[in-house]
Amino acid sequence: MNYRVEFHPKAAKEFFKLDGRVKKLVAKQIAKLEKHSEIGQLLGNKQGLDLSQLRKLYVDNKRVRIVYEVIDKEITIFIFAIGNRDEMKVYKDAFERKRS
C-alpha cells in the first residue's frame, strides 16, 4: 500500500532550503516512506516534549532528521519538520507544529 506524503508548510520550506545533495537524500528517504511508513523510529518523550505519535528518519549519516506522523486512516505520511538535531530544534519545531 502506498501512502500519500504531505508537508507542514514550514517543513516544505525546510526541504526546499536544503542544498542539492542533501535534498536528494531526503527525497530518497521520503520515497521510501511512501511504501514503508513504519521505517522510522518512534520518538516518545524527548526532554519534556511529547512526541509519542511521531517518528524520525535519519538522512545524511544522521545529520538531518525527518520528523513525521503516520495517519493510517487517511493513508498519509505528514511531515512536520526536516532539519538538524542541534539543540533539539527539529524536535521542538515538530512539537510546536503538531500542536498548532
State the chain's mean pLDDT as an integer.
95
Q: What is the pLDDT of residue 75?
A: 94
* CATH, residue 15: 3.30.2310.20
What is the distance between the alpha carbons of residues 45 and 47, in angstroms, rounded to a whole number? 7
Q: What is the pLDDT of residue 27?
A: 98
Positions in the chain short of pLDDT 50: none
Angle between helices 9-17 and 20-35 (to 10 degrees): 130
What is the distance between the alpha carbons of residues 89 and 38, in angstroms, rounded to a whole number? 23
Alpha-carbon dihedral 49, 54, 60, 62, rounded to 10 degrees: 50
Q: What is the pLDDT of residue 46?
A: 86
Number of domains in the chain: 1
What is the distance between the alpha carbons of residues 23 and 15, in angstroms, rounded to a whole number? 7
pTM: 0.93
Q: Please give the residue range of the domain that contains residue 15.
A: 4-99
Question: Tens digits of per-residue pLDDT, 46-55?
Answer: 889 999 999 9
